[in-house]
Amino acid sequence: MLGAVIRNGNNTLVVELPTGTMDLQTKLSSIGITQTADRIPISDEDGDQIRVKLYASSPEEAHLLSLLTSEQERINDEFAQALQKVGNGHYVFGTENRYYDALLMVLKEAVNDQYDYISWWLYDTDDYIVETKDGSQKWDLREPEALYDYLVEEN
């Protein structure tokens, strides 16, 4: 028999696997877990709010469980390596992110942002105010909608 010990804070659930989706969801809710089972990672790390530990009652099942967990560890390693390439080790969206750069280029082209207001708005300003040289007209661009309106109507 395969099973799982699921802890949510001080509440513990022991469940045999496989089990039906609705049955599992009912059992999870009995220990205060409202998210669906497919959203709960199998993790038994200190600090996790929800901890899941899988177990097996026979050598064959233990071997199957070992195969499953080693496959997940391989996937996790591949993901970490890919994240290292995309995030440059900082794991911050936008750091050397080619998708982000491409999206920004498309957005600038779509609204004819010839003076690079979008980058200014995202990175370089604290006041979000644009005005004419003589100061006769001002635009407050604190909200994304205001920036869009300015780019489409005034630029």
Domain that holds residue 118: 98-153
pLDDT, tens digit, for every residue of 26-81?
Answer: 999 999 999 888 888 888 888 889 999 888 888 888 887 777 677 777 877 787 78
State how far the Cα of 11 lies from the Cα of 30, in Å rounded to an integer.
Answer: 9
Given 87, 114, 131, the domain boundary residue is: 87
Predicted local distance difference test score (pLDDT) of residue 97:
54
**Residue 31, class by beta-carbon neighbours within 10 Å (0-12 exposed, 13-18 middle, 19+ buried)?**
middle
With CA atoms as reference, report the closest residue to 31 among 55, 44, 14: 14
pLDDT above 60 for 2: yes
pLDDT, tens digit, for every residue of 31-44?
Answer: 999 988 888 888 88
Task: Evaluate whether residue 92 is within a structural domain.
Answer: no
What is the count of structural domains for the chain? 2
Given 41, 61, 87, the domain boundary residue is: 87
**Are the C-beta atoms of residues 52 and 40 closer than 8 Å to each other?**
yes
Same domain? For 136 and 73 the reply is: no
**Are the C-beta atoms of residues 129 and 138 closer than 8 Å to each other?**
yes
Q: What is the mean pLDDT of residues 76-105?
A: 66
Given 37, 63, 87, the domain boundary residue is: 87
Same domain? For 65 and 104 the reply is: no
Same domain? For 130 and 69 the reply is: no
